[in-house]
Copies of this chain bind each other. A is one copy, B any other.
Amino acid sequence: MRAYVRVLKQNRLKITPRRKAVIGIFMKCGLNLSPYDVYAKLKKKLPKLGLPTVYRILAELKDSGILVQSLSDDRLLRYALCTLPHQHHHHFTCRKCNRMEEVDFCTFKAVSRFIENRLNAKVETHQLQIGGLCSKCK
């Protein structure tokens, strides 16, 4: 949490109970969560919390690099803690428990070369979504 507070300060964001609570939920869960998931988990402790506040905080934390946004089949907003913020990596998501784990191994260079040759295109970005069952759910 100490490190995240530092990042908030670097980004000129005030250290509010809401922001710390949102980060805390992600630290505790290790899952990728929708805004409503976060809202529901915090509602007991913070009964006056509003859903728009959750949306805004999640966007700020993403802009600060604390969270990453993940694309999912349901096309809802989803976020997860990012512990490798400055390193290229991908994410594995468990389809059962929604746990998200980082994968710092990538073979995309060969694909990129293939595309640039075959299609005569310029490859700039790639995102890989990996799904399956985590060690606990297997």
Contact = CB atoms under 8 A, between A and B. Distances in A.
Nearest to A127: B129
B71 A94 contact: no
Nearest to A95: B124
Given A92-B119, A103-B111, A114-B103, A129 B131 contact: no
Contacts of A75: 71, 75-77
B123 A132 contact: yes
A110 interface: yes
B126 A130 contact: yes
A37 to B, nearest CB: 16
A105 B75 CA distance: 26
13 contacts: A71-B71, A75-B75, A90-B111, A92-B121, A95-B124, A103-B118, A105-B114, A105-B115, A111-B130, A119-B135, A125-B131, A125-B132, A129-B129
